[in-house]
Chain A
Amino acid sequence: MSTLEDLKDESGEEVETMTAAEVLRKLEEAWLNEKFAEDLLEAKTDLVECMMEQISEMEDNISRAKKGDFKVSIHRLEIDRIRYVLSSYLRSRLLKIEKFATHLLEEEKVRKDDEPSKLSPEEFTFAKDYDKSLESHLRNLALRHMPAHIQSLDPKQIAVRPNLDKYVFLRVNEDTEGVLVEEETLDTGEEIVDMKRGDQHIMRYRPVAPLVASGAVSLI
């Protein structure tokens, strides 16, 4: 016999169910940030793996549940919803990884050991293979037929880079004082903003990028 209680019992303690909800909330936040940020944010590999495990656990439970059990449908819909957030999150990242592959790999090359990588190991493999396949395509059809001195591809010249000066909408999660949003120029002075929890702003992405990474603000 399988009831909602059973499903829950099999997936673990009450505490763990709570944690799963918390993980999902974090994943949803990462998803929105990723959707609205111009550049690729740090990979939330742990959240992804955790939610993937959660899905397969729920699927196991469902397959053991009695046919026609009404609660099964609710769990299935919940799985569909989690899977949607997960795939949409990973799709946003994949789009950027393809677009900025050359740039990201250049960054990866100069990354220091104590800095975290933006790419998960799987994404890194994909970016490398993708970049290579694109280059060899350009080489086969065009570059190798060109005069020798012009055959090279300079990553600095061709790499597509995120435009960090785009404007974004954001919501403040933690009070943050003294955010320098505009540098001083010849015409205008510098502009500094104090952000209060709950405030919403529209501003250039560049000055707030570190705050998105730290979680002090969320993109909306």
Chain B
Amino acid sequence: MTMKASENYFDIDDILASNERIPCRVELPIYRLGYLDSSHESEHLLPGTKIEFPYWLGRAVCSRRRHIVRVDLPKQYREGYREILSADATVVDLHKLGPYYYSFGTKLLHFEHVASADIAKSMVKTFQTRFRKIMDSSQNAYNEDTSKLTEKLDEAERSLFRSGQFGLHDFQRWETRKTEKLTTSNMVRNHQKRKRNVMDSNVD
């Protein structure tokens, strides 16, 4: 399923999703790394300091064994937002809350926060509610600008939308007997296009 976070070490989306920020509170002094907190100009990060860490860093300094910081839930996963999503998930701009709403949310579950189970349930429900609309629009948008349809989708939903579109296009091509046509490979075509653009702009 698209929602399943890929744990692939080299995966670009996973790297970007693990860069999303988490609010943290420093519990143990972190010496000589005060520069990580751009709002303060102290040399050290002292207990009590509030700071946002990317997920990958939060995970390294807050675990069952390690309590260098205490992490809190990012607001888009707190109860208030979960309520909005449960009221009508289809109207929410998940990209603005995301853009890796599901995959980042799944990572947050590692922290075993008291609300973890609720967050997981909320994400499944949200996805189920939005799924029908996404598939519907991806199967019916043909030859039109789809950016309006996808702007409020999180990255996983966008890739779902794209696979729906691929399927639709393949089917249309098959119906119109275009699949049997042998074509120039994509990279070659893009390369030629770029080359033409360069030549055109040189003429200007």
Contacts and interface: CB of A to CB of B under 8 A. Distances in A.
Q: Assess A/B contact in the complex (Cβ within 8 A).
A: yes
Interface of A: 157-160, 163, 165-167
Nearest to B2: A166
Interface residues of B, number: 6
A160 B8 contact: yes
A60 B41 CA distance: 82
B1 A165 contact: yes
B163 to A, nearest CB: 12
Interface string B1-19: 1001010111000000000
B9 A163 contact: no
A167 B6 CA distance: 15
Interface in B1-41: 1, 4, 6, 8-10
Interface of B: 1, 4, 6, 8-10
Nearest to B121: A187
Nearest to A163: B4
Contacts of A167: 1
A159 to B, nearest CB: 8
Contact of B1 (A158, A159, A160, A166): A166
By CB atoms of chain B within 10 A, which of A158, A160, A166 has the most? A160
Given A165-B1, A166-B1, A158 B9 contact: yes
Contacts of A159: 9
Q: Which of B4, B6, B8, B10 has the most CB of A within 10 A?
A: B8
Contacts of B10: 158, 160
A160 B9 contact: yes
A213 to B, nearest CB: 23
B39 to A, nearest CB: 31
Nearest to B8: A160
Contacts of B9: 157-160
A166 B6 CA distance: 12
A39 to B, nearest CB: 15
Given A158-B9, A160-B8, A160-B10, 10 more contacts: A157-B9, A158-B10, A159-B9, A160-B9, A163-B4, A163-B6, A165-B1, A165-B4, A166-B1, A167-B1
13 contacts: A157-B9, A158-B9, A158-B10, A159-B9, A160-B8, A160-B9, A160-B10, A163-B4, A163-B6, A165-B1, A165-B4, A166-B1, A167-B1
Nearest to A158: B9
3 closest A-B pairs by CB: A158-B9, A160-B8, A157-B9
Nearest to B9: A158
A157 B7 CA distance: 10
A163 B14 CA distance: 15
A135 to B, nearest CB: 13
Contacts of B1: 165-167
A167 B163 CA distance: 15
Contacts of B8: 160
A159 B9 CA distance: 8
Nearest to A204: B1
B36 to A, nearest CB: 20
B183 to A, nearest CB: 16
A167 B4 CA distance: 12
A158 B11 CA distance: 10
B126 to A, nearest CB: 18
A167 B8 CA distance: 19
A160 B8 CA distance: 6
Nearest to B6: A163
A167 B1 CA distance: 7
B102 to A, nearest CB: 15
Nearest to A166: B1
